[in-house]
Amino acid sequence: MDFLELCQRRQSCRDFADRPVEHEKLVKCIEAAGLAPSACNSQPWSFVVAENPALTPEVAKCAMQMGINEYFSGAKAFIVVLEEHAVLMPKLRCILDSQYFAKGDLGAATLSICLAAEAQGLGSCIIGLFDREKLCRLLDIPIEKQFGALIAIGYPASDKVRPKNRKTLEEIVRFV
């Protein structure tokens, strides 16, 4: 499929099949993230991949906050995107904080993971609400680390693509 088709198929998976995710597919997701663009090629990221079947239910519990997101219990893997120190070129380092571009770079890496998952027949969902402290203890992540994202990964229970409710081009772009 072409790139736009891939983007149209990618969706936040809300129902995962009871099927393990192959380690090699998770590696490809991380390889794709490592190829994401970053300011000054700083690559301010690292990743923790939880794939152990004894551990993933506990990670899922970290993502089930306020009585919502029960569907994460079906995910067979989770990827934590962590922010690392960015090294900018000297001219920029003099006027900007080293992490000035890091959030955008982490967003690019996160999207790369989700698109790589979709390209391999996997579903993904970026999780915005989770118990950060519990997750750090569970995955041995230093508490002072900044999180870019937590992503649930697994095979979708259905191949059906939900209709997308997106703004029109006229609403989001102005060509000059």
Q: Are 141 and 112 in contact (CB under 8 A)?
A: no
Whole-prediction pTM: 0.94
pLDDT of residue 125: 97
Tell me the average pLDDT across 85-94.
Answer: 81
d(CA 62, CA 145): 17
pLDDT bracket for residue 90 (50, 70, 90)? confident
Say yes or no to pLDDT of 84 above 80. Answer: yes
* Domains of the chain by residue range: 3-172
d(CA 14, CA 24): 23
Q: Would you put residue 66 in left (φ > 0), alpha (ψ -120 to 50) or beta?
A: left
Say yes or no to pLDDT of 69 above 90. Answer: no
Say yes or no to pLDDT of 94 above 80. Answer: no
In CATH terms, the fold of domain 3-172 is: NADH Oxidase (3.40.109)
3-state secondary structure of 28: helix
